[in-house]
A and B are shown apart, each in its own frame.
Chain A
């Protein structure tokens, strides 16, 4: 099996980044700070982007051909940061090459393809993890730690709002094309759907979602999403994801969890400091651990010991995709959609 030829206990794992766009830099920075892994190369279909990123990273090899990069013996793993639609074929290619994968969320944009990817890595005996980065941020861990410590008893209601303004490019952005991104519920909604499911420690049963094209009526995705999830144990979650809030200088992150024994809150004005200047009001975020570095470590841990408990399992990644698909379908129908329906009756 390829795994044995590419990881040994002493040398750092060689990792390529596939897709040198916006989020790739965060992964590159995490790799630079790691002693366990190193950036071994950049792959992008756009030669200009690949070479520029490779130069910026100190002259690592670059290519427009993924197969060529995966064939290198010093490459043991890949972090994939390409548009969502490309995740499935790229993941299958990496599994076939016997390498490990950290896939940017969503794992894929359909449930069957997400399952196919997980099965391919099972067959290859290598690790696949979806980059649900919020699980690795201080705020999410603080909430999770409190719940795990019994702070609210059994959690029965969670609210999570991530509200921000427009951060995407213009009409040409792939994110705005539902065929390429899967829609906003799959693009960003999955962050929240995964997080609340993790916090509540319960299995989702159905999703009722409402979407709004707030920034422009012509948008084909919903820049504001509200998603209600009902859980098997009787809990409920309400998730709001927005890129349609104004002003974009003041983003909000709001958490409320009620449990059988109490309530915990991270109010929107309860994290960060408010800066009021001549040019407006903004939030100064607190110093925090780099979520991308913590996530990288969790992935490297899984690669080092695939049998150990994982911070984010392949089943979690499939479930997040299923929740995103259910949310998009619910908006279309105006009714709740069951996980049974989108998972075809088979839970991950």
Chain B
């Protein structure tokens, strides 16, 4: 199978908000450029045997059902984030993924960032001893505010990274949601205070600063993680590695090698070829969705929310 080319069906081009179209801007170009995948014409039917993988970007409220249908048709799935709008819907998807044994990879691609991927290995290898705290900032410059709010939209990325770095599930969530820049009703700033297994605590700030829309370089204004452990501290600046260019009109950064979405496809292919669940898995997306649900409840009540602990482990 390692030599075979996997046929890809691109299903849907919707996102959170009218102009979010990750299918066209991220996944199609990545699949087209990645060896081992071949994008089938959009008219291809889901049950066509030439389709091995379905890349799902349908409307968020129909996404869980579309993923379930694809899995039940025997296809592997790459699904845009968020995998589902609620933890309950995400859990349904995860159950079908487990049942069918198909790969269901949520597009939490930031964990494949070269700085973060290296850090995951270092932490898991004990470089800082036993980790006991993580601090994270994920502040995006500009772009269109998500009508669903940035807790639903962006928080998935740093949450997934913190879970991947530590391997520790979250037990308790305290959160604050605010609207500082977006102008609408949706939150554009979230602060998440998480208490994990083994007493590890983490704090994540996530926001979209619309005022920085015209500054170059666009994208993440601040993206970093600090892992404190019993024997050391690891500072991860995900705006690096970078060759920094300064020119009259703006400064910018550049680097060589595959991007995070390309690396996500590496994982998709590797999991399919090996016949194993992907990492992250659908179960990981369930836990992220549980945290997002709890954060919403905590922000509304002003009190911390405990997650049920009787759920089976997601990793």
Q: Which positions in A face B, CB cutoff 8 Å?
A: 153, 156-157, 159, 161, 163, 206, 208, 210, 212, 214, 224, 226, 228, 230, 234, 236, 238, 240, 242, 245-247, 250, 252, 256, 258, 260-263, 265, 268-269, 334-336
Residues of the A chain whose Cβ atoms lie less than 8 Å from the Cβ of B172: 334
Majority SS of interface residues in chain A? strand
Residues of the B chain whose Cβ atoms lie less than 8 Å from the Cβ of A247: 232
A262 in contact with B212 (CB, 8 Å): yes
Residues of the A chain whose Cβ atoms lie less than 8 Å from the Cβ of B203: 226, 228, 238
Residues of the A chain whose Cβ atoms lie less than 8 Å from the Cβ of B228: 163, 224, 242, 245
Residues of the B chain whose Cβ atoms lie less than 8 Å from the Cβ of A161: 135
Residues of the B chain whose Cβ atoms lie less than 8 Å from the Cβ of A228: 174, 176, 191, 193, 203
Known contacts A260-B180, A336-B302; is A210 also within 8 Å of B195 by CB?
A: yes
CA distance A135 to B189 in the complex (A): 28
Query: Which residue of chain A has the shortest Cβ distance to B207 in the bound complex?
Result: A258
Majority SS of interface residues in chain B? strand
A-B contact count (CB 8 A): 90
Q: Which positions in B face A, CB cutoff 8 Å?
A: 132-133, 135, 137, 139, 172, 174, 176, 178, 180-181, 189, 191, 193, 195, 199, 201, 203, 205, 207, 209, 211-212, 221-222, 226, 228, 230-233, 235, 302-304
Residues of the B chain whose Cβ atoms lie less than 8 Å from the Cβ of A157: 180, 189, 191, 205, 207
Residues of the B chain whose Cβ atoms lie less than 8 Å from the Cβ of A263: 139, 209, 212, 221-222
What is the minimal beta-carbon distance from A240 to any residue of chain B, in angstroms? 7
A246 in contact with B133 (CB, 8 Å): no
A236 in contact with B132 (CB, 8 Å): no
CA distance A242 to B229 in the complex (A): 13
A226 in contact with B201 (CB, 8 Å): yes
Known contacts A159-B137, A258-B209; is A210 also within 8 Å of B201 by CB?
A: yes
What is the minimal beta-carbon distance from A147 to any residue of chain B, in angstroms? 15
Residues of the A chain whose Cβ atoms lie less than 8 Å from the Cβ of B302: 206, 336
Contact of B137 among A226, A246, A256 (CB under 8 A): A256
B191 in contact with A236 (CB, 8 Å): yes
A210 in contact with B193 (CB, 8 Å): yes
Closest 10 CB pairs of A and B: A156-B180, A261-B211, A210-B201, A236-B191, A263-B221, A208-B174, A236-B176, A335-B303, A234-B178, A238-B203
What is the minimal beta-carbon distance from B295 to any residue of chain A, in angstroms? 13
CA distance A269 to B230 in the complex (A): 21
Contact of A268 among B176, B191, B207, B235 (CB under 8 A): B235
CA distance A258 to B210 in the complex (A): 12
- 11 A-B pairs with C-beta separation under 8 A: A157-B207, A159-B205, A161-B135, A163-B228, A224-B133, A238-B191, A242-B228, A252-B233, A263-B222, A268-B226, A334-B172
B174 in contact with A153 (CB, 8 Å): no
CA distance A252 to B137 in the complex (A): 17
Known contacts A157-B189, A260-B181; is A212 also within 8 Å of B132 by CB?
A: yes
CA distance A184 to B123 in the complex (A): 28
What is the minimal beta-carbon distance from A146 to any residue of chain B, in angstroms? 16
Known contacts A156-B178, A224-B133; is A256 also within 8 Å of B222 by CB?
A: yes
A246 in contact with B304 (CB, 8 Å): no
CA distance A238 to B136 in the complex (A): 11
Residues of the B chain whose Cβ atoms lie less than 8 Å from the Cβ of A250: 233
CA distance A202 to B303 in the complex (A): 22
Residues of the A chain whose Cβ atoms lie less than 8 Å from the Cβ of B304: 208, 334-335
B176 in contact with A230 (CB, 8 Å): yes
19 extra A-B contacts, CB within 8 A, seeds A161-B135, A246-B233, A261-B211: A206-B302, A208-B174, A208-B193, A208-B304, A214-B132, A236-B176, A236-B178, A245-B228, A246-B231, A258-B139, A260-B180, A260-B181, A260-B211, A263-B139, A268-B226, A269-B235, A334-B304, A335-B304, A336-B303
CA distance A268 to B226 in the complex (A): 11
Query: Which residue of chain A has the shortest Cβ distance to B211 in the bound complex?
Result: A261
CA distance A258 to B178 in the complex (A): 13
Query: Which residue of chain A has the shortest Cβ distance to B205 in the bound complex?
Result: A157
Known contacts A246-B231, A265-B222; is A240 also within 8 Å of B135 by CB?
A: yes
A156 in contact with B189 (CB, 8 Å): yes
Residues of the B chain whose Cβ atoms lie less than 8 Å from the Cβ of A252: 233
Residues of the A chain whose Cβ atoms lie less than 8 Å from the Cβ of B191: 157, 228, 236, 238
CA distance A274 to B302 in the complex (A): 42
Residues of the A chain whose Cβ atoms lie less than 8 Å from the Cβ of B209: 258, 262-263
Query: Which residue of chain A has the shortest Cβ distance to B174 in the bound complex?
Result: A208
CA distance A260 to B207 in the complex (A): 12
Residues of the A chain whose Cβ atoms lie less than 8 Å from the Cβ of B174: 208, 228, 336
B180 in contact with A234 (CB, 8 Å): yes
Known contacts A159-B137, A224-B133, A263-B221; is A212 also within 8 Å of B176 by CB?
A: no
CA distance A161 to B203 in the complex (A): 12
CA distance A240 to B133 in the complex (A): 11
Residues of the A chain whose Cβ atoms lie less than 8 Å from the Cβ of B207: 157, 258
CA distance A317 to B300 in the complex (A): 32
Residues of the A chain whose Cβ atoms lie less than 8 Å from the Cβ of B199: 212
What is the minimal beta-carbon distance from A116 to any residue of chain B, in angstroms? 31
Residues of the A chain whose Cβ atoms lie less than 8 Å from the Cβ of B139: 258, 263
Residues of the B chain whose Cβ atoms lie less than 8 Å from the Cβ of A226: 133, 193, 201, 203
